[in-house]
Each structure stands twice: as structure tokens, then as C-alpha cells.
Amino acid sequence: MRIYREKDYEAMSRRAAQIIAAEIAHNPACLLGLATGSTPEGAYRYLVDWYKQGLLSFKDVRSVNLDEYVGLAPDHDQSYRYFMQSNLFDHVDIDPANTRVPDGLTRDAKAFCDEYDAFIRAQGYVDLQLLGIGRNGHIGFNEPGGCFVKETHVVDLAESTIDANARFFASRDDVPKQAISMGMGAIMGAKKVLLCASGEEKADAICGSVLGAISPSCPASILQLHPDVIVVVDEAAFSKLAAAGFQA
């Protein structure tokens, strides 16, 4: 696990974008595992900028997203498909046919999830998986629980996650209660993982993930078992690691 300790959100975003751009330069037809949330917004902004400057092309890039809310249509402004379109896909030359986000309106979730995993497996897994982290240590929507779930699956969102995400909706009641999330099999199968976090409210989750016991009670702790993880955090998200004497 390599840790980049950056001064603030902007520096974290730039570093994450550099790592993603390097992956695309190295492998123009790479399969990117993409994430949503406020954490990666800045990195996507840098990638769009660099694309507009002609420094980078997504022409042959393929992508699979981590998760989607159950019940939200792709054009709902809080759906993760909408997020990806408005933060990245609509502004670069990626082929829309090469982008995948779980279908929040699927009528047969089990078949959909099986197909999602089969697709990722058939591609030889993701080349670079971008991750944010929940305050409770969730990655994708793999919430704390009694076991790590391997497959893409339907998740009941933790009350704390509903609270955290309520800021994006008109009211807490509007936050979907379920999501479809890539499981740990697809995440751990990725050749490289890029975990990003910013802000003091992520400091416990980052400390638990890097130094804590590997346990489904802190889902991101499983990343300690992955051979190629890059963690990019700002000072605030690093603060609990610093207090524990961790050097980076």
C-alpha cells in the first residue's frame, strides 16, 4: 500500500487524476472502475481539463461504475449515471457504449448483478479501480456487516449512509434505501486500486482501513490484502493516521 499525503482536497484531486491519466496513457483501452460522490469530483474536473487541452483521450477507454441507487432512473439528478454523465462522460470523448453503471431500475436484480460480474470477469477484471470511502468505511456500497460480500448485489443502506447522503436530496425520506453495488470480488480483482479521501470526517475510516483489523465491520480494511493499492488523502483525512504515528 502506497500512501500519498496531500495538503488539501485540490492537491488530492490532482494527484488522483494524475494516476488515472497515467493509467490511460499506459493502456489507452483500459477498463476503469469508477466511483461517484463528492470525493472524485475534483479528479474528474482535472481529467476533463486535460482532455480539453488535448493531453488525454478516452476514445478507447472502457468503464464500469461501482454502484447505483435502486429506484433512480438514469436521468434522475441524484442517480450515479447522471453524476457520471455530468461530471465526466459528457465532457470527454469516451464512447457511451463503453460505459457501464448498474441499472437502478432493473426488474431482475439477481440476473443483472450476475451479468455485471460476468462482464467484469470476461474483461480480465478492472485495470484501475477508483474508490471513495464512506465515514463508516464502506467502499462502493459495501456496508459494514458480518461478512464481505463477493458478488455484485443489492444492499440495504446503513442508516448512517442515508444520513450522510441526505445532503444531496430534498429530504432524508427521498434518499433511496437500497443500492446495487459491486462486491468485494470485483474490487479485489482489480489490478490496481486507488482509494481517495478528503476531510476530517474520513480520518477514522482511513485509519481503520490502513491500520485496523481486517474485518467486514470496516469494509475498506480488506484492501490491506490487495497487492497494489494507492491511497491518496489530504491532511485532514490523514490526521488519525498521523496521530497513530504513521509516516507518509
| Contacting residues toward ligand GLP, per CB under 6 A | 35-39, 66-67, 132-134, 140-141, 161, 165
- Choose, from 67, 68, 127, 234, the residue flagged as catalytic: 67
Do the beta carbons of residue 158 and residue 179 sit within 8 Å? no
Task: Name the maximum alpha-carbon separation found in the chain.
Answer: 49
> Residue 147 Cβ, how far from ligand GLP at the closest point, in Å?
19
Q: Smaller CB distance to ligand GLP: residue 48 or 130?
A: 130
> Known catalytic residue: 138?
yes
> Residue 247 Cβ, how far from ligand GLP at the closest point, in Å?
26
Integer CA distances (angstroms), 231 to 5, 137, 183, 212, in order: 8, 14, 20, 15
- Choose, from 87, 143, 153, 234, the residue flagged as catalytic: 143
> Residue 60 Cβ, how far from ligand GLP at the closest point, in Å?
25
- Choose, from 136, 142, 165, 234, the residue flagged as catalytic: 136
Q: Smaller CB distance to ligand GLP: residue 82 or 245?
A: 82
Beta-bridge partner residues of 68? 180
Beta strands (DSSP E) in 30-172 are 31-34, 62-65, 67-69, 99-100, 128-131, 153-156
Task: Determine phi and psi for 189, rounding to 5 degrees.
Answer: -75, -15
Q: Smaller CB distance to ligand GLP: residue 38 or 217?
A: 38
- Give the residue numbers annotated as catalytic, written as ranges: 67, 136, 138, 143
